[in-house]
Amino acid sequence: MPISTSILDYNLPKELIALYPPKKRGLSRLFVLQREPFLIEHKRYYQLDEYINPNDVVVLNNTKVIKARIFGKIANTDKKVEVLLLNPLPKYNLRSQEWEVLVSPRKRLRENNEIIFDGGYKAIIGQKLSSRTLVARFNAPALEVAHKIGRVPIPPYLRREDEPIDYERYNTVFAKVEGSVAAPTASLNLTKALLKRIQKKANIAYVTLYIGWGTFAPIDTETLEEFKIHSEFAVLPKETVSVINTVKSQKGRVFAVGTTVVRVLEGVYKKFSCLKPYKGEVDVFIYPGFEFKVVDSLLTNFHAPRTSVLALVMAFAGIEKIKKAYQVAISKKYRFLSYGDSMLIL
């Protein structure tokens, strides 16, 4: 029987949306949900390592958010536009001058329009790639333009412009591989000190998922089965595969830090019926009924209604358990969304 998207509905009070990160990393709250038997604990993020055993592996997404928002104006006019970098063309050639972009306001642009930016940078608008996206060819590598004059693409629900603090805090302390337009938010409160404590106790491994703008897209279909999820580029290194397979053989647990890590690990397993090194697109939609093969525990944030990430969390912990947990979190005034508090599901 089809699953109604209404299972992802709940009332999120606006005042619980975290508009800024905590003053210091690691001071956020940690909602601990044990699935069997059902149990809830209230901790702090810096206590995360208390739940990790020596034969476990903690898997992190080492992607780095770029300054993907670039502002300019259409040549020979005073019409201002915002260009959001999405994907280099060909995909993941990060030195490319040609990118898939979103432009706002879209109605102001025509093919072959030139956009003028500060610093002598320019871009020619090319063909449509979808109902919303276009090709833009810059007169320099687009990442160079982003580094020089770009701004941080903080989520639209923060209802503010980016500030200097966002370039540091909307990236993790271990961010390495540039290319994302959204952060792996479950990792934002990981500190170097906490990582060192975890590393002394257990294994740490990395994947890369270039997180796209689709991560914020609401599910707009009546049933989950009808929804077509976005595709993202992922890298699962052989070293990570080896560590996970060893941990699994020794009855250890795989801790996925963030839904993006889950998408990589479970997406690759679903594609090949095993875990193997991989570099390519991941488009697995994980919703209730999904059978997890790799991930044993999940650290994640509190997510917005009607989103694919909330569907993933419900698939992992159970619909009713997550509904109950979110009710408790709201009553306890937990902070929600990207800069908010975290939930550890055991």
Q: How does pLDDT run across 55-80, given as a tens digit for each residue?
A: 999 999 999 999 999 999 999 898 99
Residue 23 has pLDDT above 80, yes or no: yes
Report yes or no on 142 lying in a domain: yes
Q: Which two tokens stand for residue 305?
A: 């209604």
Answer for the pair 214, 263: CB distance below 8 angstroms, yes or no: no
Same domain, 177 and 231: yes
Same domain, 285 and 322: yes
d(CA 116, CA 83): 11
Find the range with the poorest average confidence among 109-113, 244-248, 280-284: 109-113
Q: In this predicted model, what pLDDT tens digit does every residue of 38-57 receive, in sequence order? A: 999 999 999 999 999 999 99
- Overall domain count for the chain: 2
Same domain, 245 and 262: yes
Q: Is the Cα torsion angle 254, 255, 259, 260 positive or negative in sign?
A: negative
Report yes or no on 160 lying in a domain: no
DSSP H or E stretch at residue 148:
helix 142-149
CATH number at residue 233: 3.40.1780.10
Kindly report the average pLDDT of the chain as a whole number.
94
Same domain, 56 and 74: no
d(CA 261, CA 316): 13
Look at residues 149, 183, 204 and tell me which one is the last residue of a structural domain: 149
Can you say how many angstroms the Cα of residue 144 is from the centroid of all Cα atoms in its chain?
23
Report yes or no on 30 lying in a domain: yes
Domain that holds residue 339: 5-65+165-345
Report yes or no on 158 lying in a domain: no
d(CA 115, CA 285): 36
Look at residues 95, 125, 149 and tell me which one is the last residue of a structural domain: 149
CATH number at residue 84: 2.40.10.240
C-alpha distance across the termini of the chain, in Å: 28
Q: Tally Cβ neighbours within 10 Å of residue 145.
A: 25
Model confidence, pTM: 0.94
For residue 294, the model assigns a pLDDT of 98
For residue 109, the model assigns a pLDDT of 78
For residue 127, the model assigns a pLDDT of 86
Instruction: Give residue 20's identity as a one-letter amino acid code.
Output: Y
Per-residue confidence at 213, pLDDT binned at 50, 70, 90? confident
Same domain, 80 and 138: yes
Per-residue confidence at 326, pLDDT binned at 50, 70, 90? very high
For residue 216, the model assigns a pLDDT of 77
Q: In this predicted model, what pLDDT tens digit does every residue of 253-278 receive, in sequence order? A: 999 999 999 999 999 999 999 999 99
* Ramachandran class of 7: left when φ > 0, alpha when ψ lies in -120 to 50, beta otherwise: alpha
Same domain, 31 and 169: yes
160-167: average pLDDT = 94
Q: Is the Cα torsion angle 43, 46, 47, 50 positive or negative in sign?
A: positive
For residue 129, the model assigns a pLDDT of 79
Answer for the pair 284, 231: CB distance below 8 angstroms, yes or no: no
Q: In this predicted model, what pLDDT tens digit does every residue of 198-210 receive, in sequence order? A: 999 999 999 999 9
Per-residue confidence at 90, pLDDT binned at 50, 70, 90? confident
Report yes or no on 154 lying in a domain: no
For residue 212, the model assigns a pLDDT of 86
**Portion of the chain with pLDDT greater than 70, in percent:** 100
For residue 215, the model assigns a pLDDT of 78
∠ CA 13-315-295, rounded to 5°: 115
Look at residues 118, 149, 180 and tell me which one is the last residue of a structural domain: 149
For residue 111, the model assigns a pLDDT of 83
**Portion of the chain with pLDDT greater than 90, in percent:** 87
Same domain, 203 and 297: yes
Same domain, 330 and 204: yes
Report yes or no on 155 lying in a domain: no
d(CA 323, CA 345): 13
d(CA 341, CA 339): 7
Same domain, 174 and 279: yes
Same domain, 179 and 131: no
Same domain, 133 and 207: no
Answer for the pair 211, 63: CB distance below 8 angstroms, yes or no: yes
Residue 106 has pLDDT above 80, yes or no: no
Residue 91 has pLDDT above 80, yes or no: no
Report yes or no on 233 lying in a domain: yes
Report yes or no on 105 lying in a domain: yes
d(CA 16, CA 111): 42
Same domain, 251 and 173: yes
